[in-house]
Amino acid sequence: MNKKRNTIIFMIGATVFNIILTVICFLIMLVFYSQVLFPRLPEESVGWALPVIFVLSIVASVFIYRALIKILMKKVDVEKYFDPIFNRRPSPRRQ
């Protein structure tokens, strides 16, 4: 496999992993909210809690994802297996 294919497969896998991580964080926070923090609140209070829990789950998943990517980058030689996505150096001009 070449670097471009590795990069595309990694980006697709990382995106799927991040979505699954967000859903897991959302479910954990929702269960924590409903069972531990406020088990006896009326159902109307969930109206403001769901958007807050959703945003918090996105923030938590971003922090977890970034930490895991940093660990991966320390263990794997990224330049050896992946093609750069953003930080391409411009080719020097010859005069």
| CB atoms near residue 5 (< 10 Å) | 10
Beta strands in the chain (DSSP E): none
Helix (H, G, I), strand (E, B) or coil at 79: helix
What local confidence, expressed as pLDDT, does residue 31 receive?
Answer: 87
Asked whether the CA dihedral 47, 49, 51, 53 is positive or negative, the reply is: negative
Query: For the chain, how many residues are written?
Result: 95
Q: Measure the CA–CA gap between 3 and 84, rounded to whole angstroms.
A: 9
Instruction: Parse the chain into domains and list their residue ranges.
Output: 3-81
**Are the CB atoms for 30 and 53 separated by under 8 Å?**
yes
Q: For residue range 6-51, list pLDDT tens digits in order.
A: 778 888 998 999 999 999 999 999 888 877 766 666 666 667 788 8
Average pLDDT, the chain: 81
Q: What is the pLDDT of residue 55?
A: 94
